[in-house]
């Protein structure tokens, strides 16, 4: 079956929908492919709260570009970085093809955020600075009222109204190219109907590979068996978009061996069953030993690094141990999103037994930790207070109160894989570039298909990346029609 379109979009999350609606608004004939059913459309976007790194409706945070630029990978060649600070037209082959997001892409991303939010408001999406899961934070977060679900529904409704053709239960499998290697469309598979061939310019917006165990093992390693997608929508993200582009010579970008980590309760099946309460207790591994500073700074800035330490423990799991003091923290329940009850016991000995943990080791860990807690006069649970431990390793830098007021409380925590970091290199307009750093005609990427992050995620930028680059890709391909 062959069908002709101006634009074929793979993926029906906020990135794909943003591209599809924007292209259709320009008068183009658009198809959008969705692996799920209509009822489950939206992938991970449907489940996220969709935090946006913005300080006002029309302004990104002051550190938006800086934070992204500072996390472009360790030990980059300084000569190439200096070269990339000059005009793109004069870059060498090495600079053009370097597997990082160049600063012009970051600048264009930041510049187009406000217009994207205004566009979404025009589609009926409401935004507000609502309460978040973070009891302490360094950055404001704007949110769409209704989260990612509201974004998906508003964009999908606009797409349907404007005439975008939806192909549900359809998976993109292969890029169609001509004899010169130019992309001419997509080959896909639709459940119950078989192979589809759709001609047109292509926007890859089908996410990372957090739902693909083969790719996870290949790039992140065998320990990835201890990871789980943050929500059920993540199981749809199997990396085909990235692989089909790499197969025809696209350039990789982003850290393929890493991912955005978030602490969740493995007992829960709800989306984003996060546990952000650990700064007010201690984290211990299966041996009953502490292994990390639980509170080096605000939880929004440090939870990912701490979650990575949890992932490195035996079987990729740890437990936060708390006492009754936690209940005196204002709105403490905001930091606990699991639907599973805490594991409670009247004594540490009984708690260790419930956690199947060495009793003597957990008791010794608590005794040493409590003895290291010296002064609580400056304790302030909602601000960095400098109330720290003394004479113990690892230290605890803030909110270091003894844990001695039973009954005692524990939650298991593993690292969720929110999305993978590895993807494709793009121009400021979202064009995919090849391994020689040249734009590939008719091929674009948006959302997590774009590899932008290394080592540390710039929080609350992923949804914006999908929304903004979906529009940028659509506008560029419309101009080049």
73-91 pLDDT, tens digit each:
889 899 988 888 887 888 9
**CATH class assigned to 262-416:** alpha beta
Cα gap 72→64, rounded to integer Å: 13
- Cβ neighbours of residue 256 under 8 Å, at least 6 residues apart? 219, 220, 420, 421, 422, 451
Hey, which bits of 279-330 come out as E strands? Answer: 282-284, 317-322
Residue 40 sits at φ, ψ, to 5 deg, of -110, 10
- pLDDT grade for 1, boundaries at 50, 70 and 90: low
By three-state DSSP, how is residue 262 classified? Answer: strand
Residues 266-283 have a mean pLDDT of 97
Q: Which residue has the tokens 């091929």?
A: 443
Dihedral sign of CA atoms 268, 273, 274, 278 in order = negative
Q: Which residues pair with 260 in a beta bridge?
A: 419
For residue 476, pLDDT over 80 is answered with yes
By three-state DSSP, how is residue 389 classified? Answer: strand
* Whole-number Cα distances in Å, 178 to 80, 163, 196, 249: 34, 28, 17, 14
Identify the CATH assignment for 2-258+421-479 out of 3.50.50.60, 3.30.450.20, 3.40.50.300, 2.40.50.100: 3.50.50.60
Q: What is the pLDDT of residues 417-468, one digit of tens each?
A: 999 999 999 999 999 999 999 999 999 999 999 999 998 899 999 999 999 9
Cα 464 to chain centroid, rounded: 11
Cα gap 177→442, rounded to integer Å: 10
Mean pLDDT, rounded, of the chain: 96
What pLDDT is stored for residue 54 in this prediction?
Answer: 96
Residue 460 exposed, middle or buried by CB count within 10 Å (0-12, 13-18, 19+): buried
- Cβ neighbours of residue 440 under 8 Å, at least 6 residues apart? 183, 248, 249, 250, 431, 432, 433, 434
CA dihedral 17, 150, 166, 248 (to 10 degrees): 30
What pLDDT is stored for residue 390 in this prediction?
Answer: 96
Cα gap 307→321, rounded to integer Å: 15
For residue 2, pLDDT over 80 is answered with yes
By three-state DSSP, how is residue 136 classified? Answer: coil
- Cβ neighbours of residue 396 under 8 Å, at least 6 residues apart? 282, 293, 294, 295, 369, 372, 388, 389
Residues 182-191 have a mean pLDDT of 97
Q: What is the pLDDT of residues 297-319, one digit of tens each?
A: 999 999 999 999 999 999 999 99
Cα gap 42→17, rounded to integer Å: 9
Residue 21 sits at φ, ψ, to 5 deg, of -65, -45
Domain ranges in the chain? 2-258+421-479, 262-416
Q: What is the pLDDT of residues 311-366, one digit of tens each?
A: 999 999 999 999 999 999 999 999 999 999 999 999 999 999 999 999 999 999 99
What pLDDT is stored for residue 207 in this prediction?
Answer: 97
Cα gap 257→219, rounded to integer Å: 5
Give me 452's structure tokens.
Answer: 């932008």
For residue 234, pLDDT over 70 is answered with yes
Q: How many of the other CB atoms lie within 10 Å of CB of 102?
A: 23
**Percentage of residues in the chain having pLDDT higher than 90:** 89
- Which of 414, 445, 436 is closest to 242 using CA atoms? 445
The beta-carbon contacts of 352-358 under 8 Å, at least 24 apart in sequence, are: 352/288, 354/410, 355/319, 355/410, 357/284, 357/286, 357/287, 357/288, 357/319, 358/287, 358/288
């Amino acid at each position: 079956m062959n069908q002709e379109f101006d634009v074929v979009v793979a993926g029906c999350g906020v990135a794909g929908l943003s591209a599809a609606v924007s292209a259709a608004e320009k008068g183009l004939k658009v198809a959008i492919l969705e692996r799920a059913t209509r009822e489950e459309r939206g992938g991970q976007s449907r489940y996220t709260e969709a935090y946006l790194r913005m300080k006002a409706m029309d302004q990104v945070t002051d550190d938006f570009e800086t934070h992204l630029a500072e996390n472009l990978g360790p030990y980059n060649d300084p000569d190439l970085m200096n070269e990339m600070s000059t005009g793109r037209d004069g870059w060498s082959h090495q600079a053009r093809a370097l597997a990082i997001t160049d600063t012009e892409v970051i600048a264009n991303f930041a510049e187009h955020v406000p217009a994207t939010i205004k566009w979404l408001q025009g589609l009926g999406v409401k935004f507000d600075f609502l309460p978040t899961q973070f009891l302490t934070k360094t950055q404001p977060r704007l949110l769409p009222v209704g989260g990612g679900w509201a974004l998906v529904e508003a964009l999908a409704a606009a797409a349907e109204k404007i005439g975008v053709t939806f192909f549900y239960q359809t998976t993109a499998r292969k890029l169609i190219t001509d004899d010169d290697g130019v992309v001419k469309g997509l080959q896909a598979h639709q459940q119950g109907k078989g192979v589809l061939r759709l001609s047109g310019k292509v926007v890859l917006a089908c996410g990372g590979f957090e739902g693909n165990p083969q790719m996870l093992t290949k790039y992140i390693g065998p320990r990835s068996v201890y990871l789980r997608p943050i929500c059920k929508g993540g199981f749809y993200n199997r990396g085909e978009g990235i692989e089909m582009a790499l197969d025809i010579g696209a350039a990789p970008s982003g850290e393929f061996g890493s991912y955005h980590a978030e602490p969740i309760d493995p007992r829960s099946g709800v989306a984003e069953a996060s546990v952000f309460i650990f700064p007010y207790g201690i984290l211990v591994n299966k041996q009953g030993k502490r292994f990390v500073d639980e509170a080096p700074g605000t939880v929004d800035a440090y939870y990912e690094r701490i979650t990575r330490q949890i992932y490195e423990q035996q079987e990729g799991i740890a437990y936060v141990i708390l006492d009754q003091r936690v209940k005196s923290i204002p709105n403490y329940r905001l930091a606990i999103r699991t639907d599973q009850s805490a594991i409670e016991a009247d004594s540490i000995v009984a708690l260790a037994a419930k956690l199947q943990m060495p009793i003597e080791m957990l008791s010794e860990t608590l005794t040493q930790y409590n003895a290291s807690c010296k002064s609580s006069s400056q304790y302030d649970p909602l601000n960095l207070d400098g109330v720290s431990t003394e004479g113990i390793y690892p230290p605890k830098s803030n909110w270091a109160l003894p844990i001695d007021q039973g009954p005692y409380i524990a939650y298991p925590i593993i690292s969720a894989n929110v999305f993978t970091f590895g993807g494709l290199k793009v121009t400021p307009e979202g064009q995919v570039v090849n391994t020689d750093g040249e734009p590939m005609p008719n091929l674009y990427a948006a959302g997590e298909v774009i590899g932008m992050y290394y080592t540390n995620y710039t929080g609350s930028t992923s949804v914006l990346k999908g929304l903004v680059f979906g529009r940028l890709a659509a506008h560029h391909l419309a101009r080049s029609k």
